[in-house]
Amino acid sequence: MRRNIVLIGMMGAGKTAIGAELSRRLSRPFWDTDAEIERAAAMTIPEIFSRDGEAFFRARESEVLSRVLAGGDSIVSTGGGAWMRQANRDRVTQNGLSVWLDCDLDTLWHRVRSRPTRPLLQTAEPRQTLERLLAERRPVYALADIRIQTNMGDTVEETADQVIAAIEARNPAILEAK
C-alpha cells in the first residue's frame, strides 16, 4: 500500500509549512511540488509563469506530482491549483491520503498579501482574486479524504498535531512504520 500524505488547499493555507513540519515529526521524506518544479527548471514560479505560461506550469506540476508520489512514503505539499485537475486527484487517491488544509479568506489574505511569489495574485484586485479562486475551488477541495480547519490563531505545531490526529482516527495504517 502506498502511504503518501498529500496536502492540498489554497495559497497561504500552510501546505508548505505544515508539510515540512509533518516530515520532521513523522521522519518521512518531504516534497513540495513547487520547489521541485523550480529546481528542475532552475527558475522561480513567477519566472515560469511569465516565460512559459500557466499551461506549461500545470504540465510540469502533474509530472512532478507523479514522480514524488512514486516514493510511496512521503509527505507531499502541492501547489494550490494541483488538486483542480482530475488526473492529479486520481493519482493522489491511488497513492495515499489527501488532506485539505481549509482556511478562511482573511487568514489566507493575511499570509499571501505581501508576497510577490504567487503569479495568480498579480492582479489589480488581488484580494478579490483570492476570494474568487477560493469560491471556485472549495467544492473541489472538499473531495479530499480529510479536511482540517486551520485559522489565524493556530500555530504550525498545532495544525500539524490536528493533521496527525485526524489521520490516526481515519486511517492509522498510513502512520505505521514500514
Ligand X SMILES: O=C(O)C1=C[C@@H](OP(=O)(O)O)[C@@H](O)[C@H](O)C1
Ligand Y SMILES: Nc1ncnc2c1ncn2[C@@H]1O[C@H](COP(=O)(O)OP(=O)(O)O)[C@@H](O)[C@H]1O
Binding residues for ATP: 12-17, 118
- Mark residues 14-33: x for contact with Mg ion by CB under 5 A, - for none: -xx-----------------
**Cβ distance to ligand X smaller for residue 81 or 96:** 81
Report which of 87, 99, 82, 80 is spatially closest to residue 4, judged by C-alpha positions.
Answer: 99
C-alpha cell at 23: 516530515
The amino acid sitting at 126 is P
Taking CB under 6 A as the binding criterion, the range among 74-82, 93-101, 138-146, 156-164 that sits at the site for ligand X is 74-82
Binding partner at 154 among ligand Y, ligand X, Mg ion, none, C-beta below 5 to 8 Å by kind: ligand Y
Q: Which residue is nearest to ligand Y (CB)?
A: 14
The interaxial angle of helices 86-95 and 45-69, nearest 10 deg, is 40
Residue 162 near ligand Y by CB under 6 A? no
The CB-of-53 to ligand X minimum distance in angstroms stands at 12
Residues 22, 75: Cα–Cα separation, whole Å: 7
Residues 73, 95: Cα–Cα separation, whole Å: 9
The CB-of-15 to Mg ion minimum distance in angstroms stands at 5
Give me the sign of the Cα torsion angle 121, 111, 156, 30.
positive
Q: Which helix (H) or strand (E) holds 68?
A: helix 45-69
- Mark residues 22-51: x for contact with ligand X by CB under 6 A, - for none: ------------x----------x------
Residues 81, 139: Cα–Cα separation, whole Å: 13
**Cβ distance to ligand X smaller for residue 79 or 96:** 79
Q: Which helix (H) or strand (E) holds 87?
A: helix 86-95
Among 8, 13, 133, 174, binds ligand Y (CB under 6 A): 13
Strands 75-77, 4-8: parallel, antiparallel or unpaired by DSSP?
parallel
Footprint of ligand X on this chain (CB under 6 A)? 11, 15-16, 34, 45, 79-81, 118-120
Footprint of ligand Y on this chain (CB under 6 A)? 11-18, 77, 111, 150, 154-156, 159
